[in-house]
């Protein structure tokens, strides 16, 4: 078995680091710490785009890396920090009701989800130098862990971060599978993220104005 090339090895390492940061977001009690981990995860996406651009001679990816860093590493975390503003009960550790499961159980459940996603995506039968199988499988694991983050946390800010990290997982899969897409199509994902940020910002402001809290636990009373 031949050793992996520079690109494949870099893609696999970056994907593994992104998955570890995803688990870190799930485990963190402070929303601001989740924002920092999301920024670090997004920075890894930009690094991967630069690696692919250098390895495959795709100069468009340099522009994509710059746009991604400006939006995901700088703009989105800045907006989230401004929305958090004053510290709330959900931004302090150990607040009852911030998890639908206790943290240890949530991590164990997410490990199971990650394993399912890893093996499910790994068995898709995509085997080529252009699409590192391991990195693609890790991207699948990230998708399921991001869904888990949105489910196990009861504050809207953490749910927004889970959605944004889900977009990072999709970006990872897109880069390792179809890095040669036209720049216009690749930047369309960033505009989708920008729209999601605007929507979540409105939801966070409206929910906090009505409930004076970021917790979504009280929304269960709206069920018929």
Report, as an integer, the average pLDDT of 148-153.
84
The per-residue pLDDT for 93 is 41
Maximum mean pLDDT: which of 38-42, 74-78, 93-97, 214-218: 38-42
Tokens standing for residue 188: 């369309």
Of the candidates 73, 70, 68, 48, the one whose C-alpha atom is nearest the C-alpha of residue 58 is: 48
Rounded to whole angstroms, what are the CA distances from 201 to 9, 60, 84, 96?
37, 30, 10, 24
Contacting residues for 17 by C-beta, under 8 A, at least 6 apart:
44
Contacting residues for 155 by C-beta, under 8 A, at least 6 apart:
31, 90, 98, 214, 215, 216
Q: What is the pLDDT of residues 60-110, one digit of tens each?
A: 888 888 988 988 899 888 888 887 764 444 444 434 446 667 777 888 888
The per-residue pLDDT for 52 is 85
As a whole-number percent, the residues of the chain with pLDDT over 90 amount to: 15
- Place 21 in a pLDDT band, splitting at 50, 70 and 90: very high
């Amino acid at each position: 078995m031949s050793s992996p090339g520079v690109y494949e090895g870099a893609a696999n390492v970056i994907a593994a680091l992104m998955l570890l940061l995803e688990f870190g977001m799930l485990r963190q009690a402070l929303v601001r710490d989740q924002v920092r981990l999301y920024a670090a995860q997004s920075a890894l996406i930009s690094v991967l785009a630069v690696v692919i651009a250098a390895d495959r001679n795709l100069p468009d990816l340099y522009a994509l890396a710059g746009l991604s860093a400006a939006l995901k590493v700088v703009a989105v975390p800045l907006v989230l920090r401004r929305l958090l503003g004053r510290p709330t009960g959900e931004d302090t550790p150990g607040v009852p009701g911030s998890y639908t499961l206790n943290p240890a159980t949530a991590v164990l459940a997410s490990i199971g989800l990650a394993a399912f996603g890893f093996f499910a995506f790994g068995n898709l039968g995509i085997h080529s130098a252009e699409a590192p199988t391991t990195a693609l499988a890790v991207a699948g694991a990230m998708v399921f862990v991001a869904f888990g983050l949105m489910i196990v946390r009861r504050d809207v800010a953490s749910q927004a971060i889970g959605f944004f990290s889900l977009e990072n997982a999709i970006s990872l899969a897109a880069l390792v599978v179809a890095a040669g897409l036209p720049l216009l199509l690749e930047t369309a994902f960033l505009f989708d993220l920008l729209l999601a940020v605007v929507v979540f910002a409105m939801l966070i402001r409206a929910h906090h104005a009505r409930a004076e809290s970021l917790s979504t636990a009280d929304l269960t009373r709206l069920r018929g």
